[in-house]
Every structure is written in structure tokens, then in C-alpha cells.
Amino acid sequence: MPHPSDSVEANRQENITRILDAAERLFRHYGYSKTNVADIARDLDMSPANIYRFFSSKTEIHQALCARMLNASYEQALEISRLPLSAADRLRRYAHGQHKLTVETMLDEQKVHEMVVVAIEREWHVIEKHIDRIDELISGIIRDGISAGEFADQHPGTAARCFTASLLTLCHPQMVAQCLAKENRPNPDELIQFAINALKK
């Protein structure tokens, strides 16, 4: 028999999900700066006070949404890291996947791009946590590559940080936006291959 506290927690999570879904829908439609807590409450047919039972501010809602988006990015990377492929092929798939996700989710939908830019500019902990988790995943792939003789013997953690940093123009929304139409920038294939080659030195 379910414990009463389980039911309370399930109800709480359901309300949080509803609030986040509504907020994301409104942010995507009207833009982050043009949407406030009262708009989210109105969309859910509830009072702003009820929203504040779960989130202390619009910023906290935004942080939770940002964490949810970044988690989707992490899950994609995690799935790729577990594929039965060479380390180089997994890194290549990871880089192409992150670039595709950035272009489709964060640039093609301009209102979503606004949300991400605000989060990056404010240096929220959810961004830093995501970077650390991704670096840990990439470190594991590079460690596999070193063990298999694909990559030179090196510190996997340092190599992972350097690898992800070298691909910022493919994964950082603002940098991707600036570089997409530039003919004097390396294309994704060129940049990814260069970064993988660096691990073999």
C-alpha cells in the first residue's frame, strides 16, 4: 500500500511539471522577457500564489527549465558514450549530436535561444554542473581510447576539457549563431576531425 507521503510527493512533482510545461510553452511563444509569473498562473488557471508554493521566482522557474533542457543534452551524450564504437567515432557522434541539438533547439527557435543566452550570461550553477557532467563523460571515452591505443597517453580529464573547449563554436549557442554564416570558419567535420587528431598526438 502506497505511503501517504508518496502521494504528496507525486502530486508535488505533477504540479512542478505542469508549471514548467506552461512556462516553457509561454517562453517559446512570447519570449522569456515578455512572460511573467502571472502569465504562467493565468495559463494554468491558478493564482500566482500557487506558483510561488513551488518556485520562489520567475528566475527559479527558468533555472529549472534550463536544467531540464541541459539534461536532455546530457542524456543524448550518455547514450552515445555507451555505443559499441571506437572512442574516436563516439566523440565524433557526440560533437555532431551536440551541434545539431544547438542549431535545432536553441537557434531555430529564437525564443528558446533567448532563454539559454540569459542562463549563460548569468553563469547559473546548472550550466556549470552540465559542463562538469559532460567533461566527465568525454573523459571516460578518451580513457577508453587511450586503453585501446587510439589516443596518446595523456590525462583523460585534461584532454576532455580541452576537447570540449575546442568545440565551443559548435555547441555554445551564441558562438554557433555567430559562426553559422561565416565562410572563413571551419565546418563541423573539419573542426571535429582536428580535435580528434589532437588526441592522437
In whole angstroms, how far apart are CA 196 and each of 24, 146, 201?
36, 12, 9
Q: What is the dihedral of CA 75, 77, 83, 89, to 10 degrees?
A: 170
Reported as a single tens digit per residue, the pLDDT across 1-36 is 555 566 777 888 898 999 999 998 898 888 888 899
Residue type for 32, please?
Answer: Y
Would you give the distance in Å from CA 28 to the centre of its chain?
17
Q: Which one is the CATH code of 1-56: 2.30.290.10, 3.10.450.50, 1.10.10.60, 3.30.70.260?
A: 1.10.10.60
pLDDT value for 127? 81
- Report helix, strand or coil for 136: helix
Residue 183, CA atoms < 13 Å, CB-side half-sphere: 0
pLDDT value for 32? 80
Q: Where are the domains of the chain?
A: 1-56, 58-200
CATH class, domain 58-200, is: mainly alpha
CA gap 165, 95 in Å, rounded: 11
Residue type for 122, please?
Answer: R
Q: Which residue has the cell 502521494?
A: 7
* Average of per-residue pLDDT across 48-75: 89
For the ranges 22-31, 61-70, 134-143, the one whose mean pLDDT is highest: 134-143
Query: Angle at Cα 75 formed by Cα 104 and Cα 147, nearest 5°?
Result: 115
Global pTM value = 0.79
Cell of 67: 536544467
Residue type for 183, please?
Answer: E
Q: What is the dihedral of CA 161, 163, 166, 171, to 10 degrees?
A: -90
CA gap 106, 103 in Å, rounded: 6
